[in-house]
């Protein structure tokens, strides 16, 4: 079968190539014909082979966001049968550690990310334990179902790790899919002004998409963000900040625009340590929360919210043929596309 494989511990060296097809080995395995596989930031980092990615398995099939059709099931599989439309979770959690036992599978002590430490989903067929699968609601496309994975991350951040009250003013740093869906969720929760913050390179695709979706935007390299916020909201502070950019400077700016007693939720990973004014955060009693990946419930919510239109990823995604995967990677690295999805 064909798969997108990272072959060397260097920049690039990603190819669409032939690999052996997976076979059902364990009684809980489900074999799936992949229909859509989305490219995520971490796949791009793997492509670039960034310094924090040395722990990767190489060679490896990339990808952790997918949807498809069940082809075959192991003898103990209870909830799925051939022909079912499914999507799968990005992380293999153990199900046995103390966090898994209380449903916090996102912070499993033995978590393994697909496409980084174990073979991923950018392939014609994938084999996956049934406990990591979710049924796709009727009428939802394979592309939307694959994008439910990043949506579940925004849901975990906004609904489980933040409090947005109707009328709140919200700033979202980072106009990628996580940030844009977080902004859509803030809107669904009744936020008043929602401002999405990006940089010059986001002016290509990301900020225009945000504006088209009705959000206010700030280009932090062009505009004075403090002035802009004051102009938009009438106050130098906002009630909620969602940090989805991973830029140290964005997080530092977040600490200056959050009101006393406000919520600051961090959803990104940083390449280096960030200097923060911790004493100010304490004196202002900022509710500083972090949010990491998502739980089984958040996946179900994502599929549900996509199906009933509470969130909409259509304008964020662009489809590529599977054989055209390399161009999809290059376009994403160039910021010419927000969310590339490989279609099979
Ligand atoms: Zn992802
Ligand atoms: Zn666990």
Question: What's the CA-to-centroid distance between 317 and ligand 1, angstroms?
Answer: 13
**Which of 19, 18, 5, 3 has its CA nearest to residue 47?**
5
Which ligand is closest to the CA of 116, given by its number?
1
Ligand with an atom nearest the CA of residue 93: 2
For residue 299, is it within any domain? yes
Q: Are residues 93 and 169 in the same domain?
A: no
Give the distance (Å) from ligand 1 centre to CA of residue 263.
24
157 CA to centre of ligand 1 in angstroms: 14
Asked if residue 179 and residue 244 are part of one domain, the reply reads yes
Report helix, strand or coil for 239. Answer: strand
Amino acid 278: pLDDT: 96
- Residues 239, 317 within the same domain: no
Task: Please check whether residue 209 lies inside any domain of the structure.
Answer: yes
The mean pLDDT values, 10 residues at a time, for the chain of 344 residues are 97 96 96 98 93 90 98 97 98 96 97 94 98 98 98 98 98 98 98 98 97 98 96 97 97 97 96 92 97 97 98 98 97 96 97
Distance 39 CA to ligand 1 centre (A): 7
Question: Do residue 194 and residue 52 come from a single domain?
Answer: no
Are 209 and 222 in the same domain?
Answer: yes
Q: Do the Cβ atoms of 32 and 68 come closer than 8 Å?
A: yes
Q: How far is the centre of ligand 1, averaged over its atoms, from the C-alpha of 112 (Å)?
A: 13
Distance 106 CA to ligand 2 centre (A): 8
DSSP state of 185: H
* Residue 174 falls inside a structural domain: yes
| pTM check: above 0.75 | yes
- What's the gap in Å between 41 CA and the centre of ligand 1? 6
Does 39 map to a domain?
Answer: yes
Q: Under the phi-then-psi rule, with left for phi > 0, alpha for psi from -120 to 50, and beta for the rest, what region is 217?
A: beta
pLDDT, position 46: 94
Q: How many whole angstroms from 306 Cα to the centroid of ligand 2?
A: 28
Cα 105 to ligand 1 centre (Å): 16
CB-neighbour burial class of residue 8 (10 A; exposed 0-12, middle 13-18, buried 19+): exposed
- Contact predicate 99/109, CB 8 Å: yes
Which residues on neighbouring strands pair with residue 37, listed in sequence order? 66, 342
Query: Which ligand is nearest the CA of 176, by number?
Result: 1
Q: How far is the C-alpha of 99 from the C-alpha of 118, rounded, in Å?
A: 21
Contact partners, residue 197, CB within 8 Å, separation at least 6:
171, 172, 173, 174, 175, 217, 218, 219, 220, 225, 245, 250
Residue 131 near residue 299 (C-beta atoms within 8 A): no
Would you state the torsion angle of the CA atoms of residues 47, 209, 205, 122, taken in this order, to the nearest 10 degrees? 20
Q: Quote the tokens at residue 16.
A: 């669409």
Whether residue 330 lies inside any domain: the answer is: yes
Torsion over CA of 86, 184, 287 and 282, rounded to 10 degrees?
A: 130
Best CA proximity match to 182, nearest among 167, 195, 201: 195
CA of 269, nearest ligand number: 1
What CATH number does the domain containing 59 carry? Answer: 3.90.180.10
Read off the CATH number of the domain in which 190 is found.
3.40.50.720
Quickly count: other Cβ atoms within 10 Å of residue 155's Cβ. 28
Question: Could you tell me which residues come within 8 angstroms of residue 86 by beta carbon, excluding any fewer than 6 positions away?
Answer: 30, 32, 67, 68, 69, 70, 80, 133, 134, 135, 136
Report strand pairing: 287-290 vs 216-219: unpaired
Alpha helices in 58-112 (DSSP H): 98-101
CA of 148 to the centre of ligand 1 (A): 10
Beta carbons of 39 and 46 less than 8 angstroms apart? no
Same domain, 116 and 138: yes
d(CA 57, CA 163): 38
Judge whether 216 and 232 are in contact, CB under 8 Å: yes
Distance between Cα 100 and ligand 2 center (Å): 4
Kindly give the distance from the C-alpha atom of residue 144 to the centroid of ligand 1, in angstroms, as a whole number. 13
Shared domain for 282 and 302, answered yes or no, is no
CA of 177 to the centre of ligand 2 (A): 27
Spacing, Cα 285 to ligand 2 middle (Å): 32
Residue 107 is encoded by which pair of tokens?
A: 């912070």
Residues 18 and 144 in one domain: yes
Does residue 157 belong to any structural domain of this protein? no
Whole-number pLDDT of residue 52: 78
Domain contains 255: yes
Regarding whether 176 and 121 lie in a shared domain, the answer is: no
Q: Which domain holds residue 237?
A: 162-290
Residue 6: CB atoms within 10 A of its CB come to 26
Same domain, 286 and 300: no
Distance CA 254, CA 79 (A): 44
Q: Which ligand is nearest to the CA of 146?
A: 1
Number of domains forming the structure of the chain: 2
**Which ligand does the CA of 115 lie closest to?**
1
In a domain, 124, yes or no: yes
332 alpha carbon to ligand 2 midpoint, in Å? Answer: 32
> Quick one: which ligand is closest to 96's CA?
2
Q: Indicate if 299 and 272 belong to the same structural domain.
A: no
Q: Which residues contact 231 (CB under 8 A, 6 or more apart)?
A: none
Distance 280 CA to ligand 1 centre (A): 33
Instruction: Give the Å distance between the CA of 159 and the centre of ligand 1.
Output: 19
What is the reported pLDDT for 272? 84
In a shared domain, residues 103 and 200: no
DSSP single-letter state for residue 40: -
342 alpha carbon to ligand 1 midpoint, in Å?
A: 14
Q: How many angstroms does the Cα of residue 103 sit away from the middle of ligand 1?
A: 20
Cis peptide before 59 (omega within 30 of 0): yes
SS3 48: helix
């Amino acid at each position: 079968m064909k798969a997108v494989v990272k072959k060397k511990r260097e920049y690039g060296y990603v190819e669409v190539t032939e690999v052996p097809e997976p076979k059902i080995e364990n009684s809980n395995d489900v074999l799936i014909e992949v229909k859509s596989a989305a490219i995520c930031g971490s796949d791009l980092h793997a492509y670039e082979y960034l310094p924090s990615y040395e722990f990767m398995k190489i060679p490896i099939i990339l990808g952790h966001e997918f949807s498809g059709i069940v082809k075959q099931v192991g003898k103990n599989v209870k909830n799925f049968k051939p022909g079912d439309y499914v999507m799968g979770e990005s992380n293999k959690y153990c199900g046995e550690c103390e966090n898994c036992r209380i449903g916090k599978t996102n912070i499993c002590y033995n978590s393994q990310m697909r496409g980084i430490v174990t073979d991923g989903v950018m392939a014609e067929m994938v084999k996956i334990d049934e406990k990591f699968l979710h049924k796709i609601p009727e009428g939802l496309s394979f592309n939307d179902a694959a994008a439910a994975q990043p949506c579940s991350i925004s849901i975990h951040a906004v609904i489980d790790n933040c409090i947005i009250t109707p009328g709140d003013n919200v700033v979202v740093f980072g106009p990628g899919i996580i940030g844009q869906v977080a902004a859509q969720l803030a809107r669904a929760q009744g936020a008043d002004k929602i401002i999405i913050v990006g940089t010059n390179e986001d002016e290509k695709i990301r900020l225009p998409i945000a504006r088209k979706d009705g959000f206010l935007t700030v280009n932090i390299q062009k505009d004075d963000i403090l002035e802009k916020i004051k102009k938009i909201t009438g106050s130098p502070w906002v009630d909620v900040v969602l940090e989805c950019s991973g830029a140290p400077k964005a997080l530092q700016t977040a600490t200056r625009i959050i009101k006393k007693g406000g919520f600051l939720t961090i959803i990104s990973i940083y390449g280096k340590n960030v200097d923060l004014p911790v004493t100010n955060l304490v004196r202002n009693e900022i509710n500083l929360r972090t949010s990491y990946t998502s739980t089984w419930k958040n996946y179900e919510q994502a599929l549900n919210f996509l199906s009933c239109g509470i969130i909409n990823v259509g304008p964020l995604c662009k489809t590529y043929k599977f054989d055209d995967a390399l161009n999809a990677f290059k376009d994403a690295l160039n910021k010419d596309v927000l969310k590339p999805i490989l279609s099979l």
